[in-house]
Structure 1
Amino acid sequence: MDKDTLFSSFGKWIAPIFTKTFTDRIAETRQDAYVKKLTTTAYLKLFLHAQLHQREGLRSIADDLLSQAFQHELGFESISSSQLCRKNNGVDPELLRHVFEQLAKKIVSKYTALGDRHAIKIIDSTTVSLCLQTYKWAQFRKTKAGIKLHLRLAFVGEDDVLPEFATITPAKKNDRTQMDSLIDEEGVTYVFDRGYVDYKAFDSYSERGIHFVTRLKNNAVIEPIESFEIPTGSLVTMDERVRIGSSQKRAKHEFRMIETSDSEGNQLILVTNHFDRTSDEISAMYRSRWVIETFFKWMKQHLRIKRFYGTSDRAVHNQIWIGLIAFCLLVLVKQDTKTPHSLLQLSRWLNVLLWKPSEHWLNRIHRPPSRKSTGRKRSESS
C-alpha cells in the first residue's frame, strides 16, 4: 500500500478507485460535461462517506460538509440536498458497475492459491423489498415492489466470498433469466440452488465444458442408468448416472445424481455434470454455497442497500453499486494488510480515524488482536 503518511485514512481507503482508468472513462462518457462543482469524483466520495457512516438521507449527506477536513477533500464548502438528488439521478450506473467489477477483479486475481476453492463460483440472488407507492417502476406483486440483486461470488479465503459480478433486475425477474450473464467460464464449477434449474442450460454447459452442481426440484422426473460404488463412511447414500426430465422436456445429456445430507441432517438430491470427482467432493462443493447466507446477512446489516436516497431506478442502482464498491474497498485493505481483524472492525476504526493520517489507521490494523477479543470473536462465531 501507499506509504504516504500525510494521506488521510479516508483518502487511503478510496484510493484504489481514482485511477487513470476511472478518469478516462468519465471523460469518454462525458459524465461531467459542463459540471463545475459536483463532479462524479466528488459524488462518489460523498456517497462512499455516507455508506461508511450509514447516513439516513440526502440532508445528512449535505451536512457532512460541515467538516473542514471533508471540505478540503472535496474542494468545496457546501452542497444542497437538491444538488445531491440531481447528481444521484444523473450518474450512469454502468460507470459505477465498472468500478465495482475492476475492484473485484483485482481482489480475486490474488487468490489463485486456493486450489479447489478458487475453481468454485456460487450463483445466488437476494431480493430487496420496496414500497410500491414510491417505487412503482419495480412492481412485482399487486401490493409490493422490489429489486433483485443477482450475484456470482468467488472464494477469497477458506470461508469468505466476494461478489465478482452482479446484475440488478426488478424482483419479478426469474433467477434463470440471469444465468447467461453469470455463468460463462470454462474450468469452473458453478454451484447454485434449484431456482436455477434449466435442462436446456444444463445441456449447453455440458457441451461447453462448464461444470455445475445444483439441487433437483422435488417433482423432477429421473431415469436411473447406472449406479456407482459409495465409499465406506461416506455421507453419500446414492450415486447414479441418470437422465432427467420427462419425454416432453428431457435433457439431451446424461448427468450424475447424488443423495447426501446437509450439516443439519436434511436430505439433499444433487445433480451435476461432474463425473471425474468423488461423490464426497461434489457434496462438499454444494455445501460450500451456504457461506453466501453469511455474506447476504453481513451485506444487509452493514451496507446501506435497504433504504435508498432516491426513488428512481438510477438512484437505487447507483446506491447498490456504491455499497458493493465500499465492501470491495474494505476487502482490499484486509487483503493488502493481511490482518486477522474483521471487515466490520476495519470499518469501525476507519470511522474514528477518518481524517487522521493513514498511518494511524494502518498501525491500528497491524496491531494483533488481544487474547480477550480473539476469544470473544470465537465465541460469536460458534
Structure 2
Amino acid sequence: MGYQNSIFKQILQSIPRYEFEKSVRKHNGDFASKGFTCWEQFVSMIFAQLSGQTGLRGIETTMESMRQSLYHLGVKQVKRSTLSYANNNRSSMIYENVFSGLLEKILSMERRHKHKFKNPLYSIDATTIDLCLSLFPWADFRKRKGGIKLNMKLDHKGYIPTFISMTTAKIHELKSLKEMQFNPGDVITFDRGYTDFKLFATYCSKGIYFVTRQKKNADYAVVERKDVSSYKNISSDQTIIMEGYYTRKKCPLKLRRIRSKDPETGKYIVILTNNFVWSPTTISAIYKDRWQIEIFLKPNLSDFHV
C-alpha cells in the first residue's frame, strides 16, 4: 500500500520549515541536542496537545505505538526523559517566534466570518485548568483542588483569539468580560453564565449587540409577539421587559426573546438579545456559532491518525 498523507502531517505542513529552522538557529536551539532536535520536540508537543496527553509517559507510549508513522514526520523514537530535558532547557522563544510568524501571516490575509452581516463577531468563554494544590497553593479552588481560569475573546474572522487573560479559578469569568473592549456595532455571544443585566444595559447604550441564552428562572413580561410561521425551527420571537425588581432597575430596556430548535438534536433553546433588526434565524445561527470557542478551548482530537 502506498503512503498517504495523514491528518497530523497536513497540520504540520502549515508550519514553514524554513522559518522554524531560522528561529532554531537564532536561539541556538539544537546545540548539544543529543540527537533530539527542536523539530522533534515541537512535533511531540503538538501531538501531545491534539491527542489529549496529560503526561510524558503518555506521550512516549502513544508515539511508540505509532513509530512506523513517525518517520514521515521527521521524528525518531521519543523518550520521556529526553523530552523532559528539552522542555526544561530549551528557550521558549524558539516556538514563540514561530507562533508570531504564523499569526502575522494569518492577520495579513483577508478574513471574514461565515454570516451575511458585516459586523465583527466575537465569542466569549472561559475554561478551568486544574493545578496540583501542593505545588500551587495560591491557586486554591476547592478543598483539595487547585486551578486557574483562562478567559478568551475569539474573533470569528479566522477564529483567532484577540483577548486572553488568566485568573485563579475562584474569580468569576464575568469580571474578565467587563475588562474586554468592544466597539459600537460589534456582536458578542456568550453562554448564560455571563448574565449581567447592568452590563446588558451598558451594551445597549453603546450600540453593542449581545446574543446569549436566557436563564430558566428569568422573570419577564411579553410586550409584543411576532409572526414566525415563515421561519423553520423558530417557535417564538418576542419583545420582553424584565419583571424582577432589581433586574428591571438594572436594565429597564426592552429585549428580544427567541425560542429556537436545534435541527440536529431536536432540543429548544431560548435566546436573549438586544438586536431587533436581524431575522430570528440569524440570531439563532450566531449563538450556534459560539460552539467554535468551545472547540478552540477544549480540543478533542484523540482519534486522529498520525
TM-score normalised to structure 1 length: 0.53
Measured in 2, the distance between the counterparts of 1:107 and 1:143 equals: 46
1:53–1:273 distance in 2 versus 1, CA, 3 Å: closer
State the shift of 1:102 in Å: 1.5
Matched, 1:229 2:231: no
**Counterpart contact for 1:261–1:267, Cα < 8 Å:** yes
Contact persistence 1:58–1:84 (CA under 8 A): no
- Secondary structure of 2:151's aligned partner: strand
Query: Aligned-pair distance for 1:141?
Result: 0.9
**Distance verdict in 2 for CA 1:256–1:93, change over 3 Å:** farther
Give the match for residue 178 of structure 1.
Answer: 176
Judged with a 3 Å threshold, the aligned counterparts in structure 2 of structure 1 residues 194 and 91 are, in CA distance, closer, same or farther, namely: same
How far apart, CA to CA, are the structure 2 residues paired with 1:18 and 1:54? 24
The reply on whether 1:121 has 2:122 as its aligned counterpart is yes
Cross-structure match for 2:86:
84
- Where 2:86 maps in the other structure, the secondary structure is helix
Aligned pair in 2 of structure 1 residues 129, 250: CA closer, same or farther (>3 Å)?
A: same
Structure 2: how far apart are the matches of 1:221 and 1:257? 14
| SS of structure 2 residue aligned to 1:250 | helix
- Deviation sequence 1:337-376 (CA, Å, 0-9, x none): xxxxxxx6xx52xx2xxxxxxxxxxxxxxxxxxxxxxxxx
Residues 136-177 of structure 1 show CA distances to partners (whole Å, capped at 9, x for unaligned) of 443211122234343444557xxxx94534444433231212
Q: Are 1:277 and 2:278 counterparts?
A: yes
Q: What letter matches 1:215 in structure 2?
A: R
1:126/1:149 contact within 8 Å kept: yes
CA distance in 1, matches of 2:178, 2:18: 31
Counterparts in 2 of 1:170 and 1:211: CA distance versus 1, 3 Å:
same
Preserved contact between residue 197 and residue 247 of structure 2 (Cα < 8 Å): no
- Give percent identity, aligned residues only: 23
Q: Deviations over 1:243-297 (max 9, x none)?
A: 57635873356232314144344462x322212123443344334445666x379
Equivalent pair of 1:244/1:251 in contact (CA under 8 Å): no
- Distance of aligned partners of 1:150 and 1:135 in 2 relative to their CA distance in 1, 3 Å threshold: same
Comparing 241-250 and 174-183, the one that deviates more = 241-250
Shift of 1:211: 0.9
User: What amino acid is aligned across from residue 150 of structure 1 in structure 2?
Assistant: N
* Equivalent residue, structure 1, for 2:4: none
3-state SS of the aligned residue for 1:260?
strand
C-alpha displacement at 1:101, in angstroms?
Answer: 8.2
Partner deviation per Cα, 1:298-334 (whole Å, 9 max, x = no partner): 71x326xxxxxxxxxxxxxxxxxxxxxxxxxxxxxxx
Give the residue type in structure 2 aligned to 1:208: K
Show the counterpart of 2:211.
213
Structure in which a larger fraction of residues adopt strand? 2
Contact 2:129 2:148 in 1 (8 A): yes
**Residue number among 170, 185, 188 corresponding to 1:187 in the alignment:** 185
Which one has more relative contact order, counting CA pairs under 8 Å at least 6 apart? Answer: 1
Matched residue, 1:197: 195
SS at match of 1:237: strand
CA 1:290 to 1:15, structure 2 compared with 1: closer, same or farther past 3 Å?
A: closer
Conservation of the 8 A alpha-carbon contact between 1:190 and 1:213: yes
CA RMSD of aligned residues (A): 5.3
Asked whether the equivalents of residues 104 and 162 of structure 1 are also in contact (C-alpha less than 8 Å), the reply is no
Distance 1:291 1:34 in 2: 35
Offset, 1:230? 2.7
Displacement of 1:236: 3.7
Q: In structure 2, how many angstroms separate the alpha carbons of the residues matched to 1:240 and 1:43?
A: 56
Pairing 1:258–2:257 present: yes
Q: Structure 1: give runs of 5+ residues left out of the alignment.
A: 1-8, 304-343, 352-382
Q: What code does the residue aligned with 2:227 have?
A: I
TM-score (norm 2): 0.63
Alignment partners' CA distance in 1, 2:178 and 2:102: 17
| Unaligned segments of structure 2, at least 5 residues | 1-6
Task: Note if contact 1:122-1:152 (Cα within 8 Å) is conserved in structure 2.
Answer: yes
CA distance in 2, matches of 1:137, 1:244: 41
Instruction: Work out the CA distance in 2 between the residues paired with 1:93 and 1:239.
Output: 54
**How has the CA–CA distance of structure 1 residues 107 and 231 changed in structure 2, closer, same or farther, with 3 Å as cutoff?**
farther
Higher helix share: 1
